Structure 1
Amino acid sequence: MYTEENTARLMPDVAVHAQPHLAGELDWVGMDGIEVPVRFDAGDGDVQRASARVGAFVNLRRPDKRGIHMSRLYLQVEQALSTQTLSAASLQELLRGFLDSHKDLSDRACLSIRFEHLVRRPALRSGNSGWRAYPVSIEASVVGDQFLLELGTEVVYSSTCPASAALSRQLIQEQFTKDFDATQPIDHAAVVAWLGSEKGIVATPHAQRSVARLRVRPAEGAKFDLINLIDRTEQALGTPVQTAVKREDEQAFALANGGNLMFCEDAARRIQKALEADSTLSDFHIRVEHQESLHPHDAVAYASKGVDGGYAGKGCA
């Protein structure tokens, strides 16, 4: 008679059987898209629970072994991430656990975590507020004694083209010259009325929704501080997208756009300067994308702190 114990003992495990004709080392083996809840403190002390997608990998350095123990990775991910608040220490411990459970197979491990974090943002003037969902990516790896950690997010903002603004101003000047005789005295009330008419804004500069994608490496001992990263970036740009918007907020947003004309190069440099002033970051990589309304292709610029010859980001496969 079979019992549960001896049935399990007799279950076949074909993964232990090597295939000599396919021998070879593998860079990464594991699982991607693991669904698990995570607990995250964005730097304000408010620990939020979010639904995350996780990738868990180790290398396979034994050419004579057919595979790794994927269930061991899954169980460690589920136990650690669903019960502990995310931190550099907890992630490093989890990765060390990956390697401890694969001592005979692996000497490198990496982990990727992706989720969204809600942040309440105030309106510009009305006193209202609303929620923004910021994407969060965390990538961590252990290679030998080296532990690497990276935090990523995105900031969406409006960018008004300086060249288009200059061209628009020229057309408004030309329209003014047509409508007001230079040989006649200027009537203040007539000019004010003209400025409030469609003729007074005969041309408008093109603006577009834009995205700043950030990847940063926290300094050793620094905690995750997503809120500070977002605040620094949005303040540097001046025109982050809004949540609750009344007419006074929309007017304030139009004013901010007029005072923050920028090419993608300007945006990248603004963020670069802001992040260089942050002592909690050891390195960063910036990609700004202006999703043009003038033409179908986007304007893109990259910037980094430049540590180790330029940070390009080194994460999981």
Structure 2
Amino acid sequence: MTAPLLPDVSLESSPVPYAYPLDWVGMENIALPIYLHNTLCPSKANAYVSLDNPNAKGIHMSRLYTRLLDFCKIKDLSLGHVKDALQDFLATHHDLSQHARIELQGEFLFEQPALISDLTGWKSYPFRLSCQLKQQKFEAELYLEITYSSTCPCSAALARDLIQKSFQDAINKEKLNPSQPDEILAWLGTTDAIVATPHSQRSFAQLRFALSPDMQSIPIKQLIHHAEQALATPVQTAVKRIDEQAFALANGQNLMFCEDALRRLYHAFVNYPDITAFDFKVIHAESLHAHDAVAQGSWQC
């Protein structure tokens, strides 16, 4: 038995009331599990094509949706896969569209080792990948957010000043004999010695990269690793006391204002291969103030 033909108003010959081309038409917030570096990433997808024919009623949205579903079958999604999908968007809209765009946003889970011990844990990194094909020119942009710790250099200097004064006061009051190293060592382990500590805060690096159109892979793991090496104090997952002590040491050896953090990232990526531009913002969520300290910078080759 032949299925009855169902009406399709998009094929009706009645004229469009207001004939204008439209920049983008499509769908947003499509649930789409994808794999990056063989890691499952729950994500949301946006898919668009331009509507360049001013007399067309609309696009074929189902063709965009079903093509996106192919991403779920790929164990390591690449920029090549995204570019192929964009080309298919245009092929299925050859009489309507000249430009196509795909955006993917979600959380990338990355298993990280502890600093010293044999523990490991998972960290989540928000990401957004935006790709478009415009007049056969492919463009790709990747956004990442990385969380790290920042210890204020000014606060560290003020804490050291108070510790020095406490040491001098103990000598003046004859509570401490400066000629006895063992006595000094024992005193340094008391709260009388470490009377102040510098303040640190959870901080965020928001990184946006323009990727080379010739790049095939999506280098999310490599970019995360490179940024965390530059900052030197990424937040940790599972830790033992030896890991916590190593983290305290890393913070003490990498005192940073927001300007310092941004310059570290700038230096790390200004000559990074296959990056054609970047726009960075760092946010230090102050523990001293009720406001944030921020710095922003960009570069283009």
Over residues 215-266 of structure 1, what are the superposed CA-to-partner deviations in whole Å (9 max), with x where a residue is unaligned? Answer: 2233323522222211111111111111111111111111110000001111
Return the match for 1:236 from 215, 222, 230.
230
- Note the C-alpha offset of 1:185: 5.4
The partner residue of 1:298 within 281, 286, 292 is 292
The superposition leaves residues 4-63 of structure 1 with CA deviations (integer Å, 9 ceiling, x where unpaired) of 632xx242426855442x43332211111111222222xxxxx22332210001122233
Instruction: Judge which range, 224-233 or 214-223, deviates more.
Output: 214-223
The answer to whether 1:199 aligns with 2:189 is no
Which stretch shifts more, 173-182 or 290-299? 173-182
Return the letter of the residue paired with 1:181: N
Q: Please tell me whether residue 38 in structure 1 is matched to residue 34 in structure 2.
A: yes
State yes or no: 1:5 paired with 2:31. no
Q: 1:129 aligns with which of 117, 120, 145?
A: 120
* Separation of aligned partners in 1, 2:8 and 2:2: 15
Distance 1:39 1:237, change over 3 A: same
- Report the count of equivalent residues: 296
Deviation string 1:99-122 (CA, Å, 9 cap, x unpaired) is 122222221111001222222211
Secondary structure (helix, strand or coil) at the match of 2:172 reads coil
TM-score, normalised via structure 2 length: 0.90
Indicate if the aligned counterparts of 1:217 and 1:282 stay in contact, CA closer than 8 A: yes
Equivalent position of 2:90 in the other structure: 99
User: Cα distance, 1:292 vs. partner?
Assistant: 1.1
What is the distance in 2 between the residues matched to 1:128 and 1:207?
24
Change over 3 Å in CA distance of 1:177–1:147 after alignment to 2: same
Query: Which residue is 2:254 aligned to?
Result: 260
Q: List per-residue Cα deviations over 1:40-92 (Å, max 9, x = no partner).
A: 22xxxxx22332210001122233333222111111111x2122341122111
Contact 2:36-2:77 within 8 A present in 1 as well? yes
Aligned match of 2:19: 23
Q: Which runs of 5+ in 2 are unaligned?
A: none
Q: How does 1:145-224 map to 2 (within 5 A)?
A: 145-181=136-172, 186=178, 187-219=180-212, 220-224=214-218
Of 77, 83, 86, 2:73 maps to 83
Amino acid of the structure 2 residue aligned with 1:227: K
Which of 101, 106, 111 in structure 2 is aligned with 1:110? 101
Q: What is the alpha-carbon distance in structure 2 between the residues aligned to residue 241 and residue 226 of structure 1?
A: 18
Would the alpha carbon gap of residues 30 and 170 (structure 1) be closer, same or farther in structure 2, given more than 3 Å must change?
A: same
State whether residues 149 and 217 of structure 1, in contact with CA within 8 Å, keep that contact through their aligned partners in structure 2. yes
Whether the aligned pair in 1 keeps the contact of 2:33 and 2:40 (CA below 8 Å) is yes
Letter in 2 for 1:48: T
Partner SS for 2:272: coil
Give me the whole-angstrom Cα distance separating, in 1, the residues matched to 2:78 and 2:15: 38
Aligned-pair RMSD on alpha carbons?
2.2
Relative to the length of structure 1, the TM-score reads 0.86
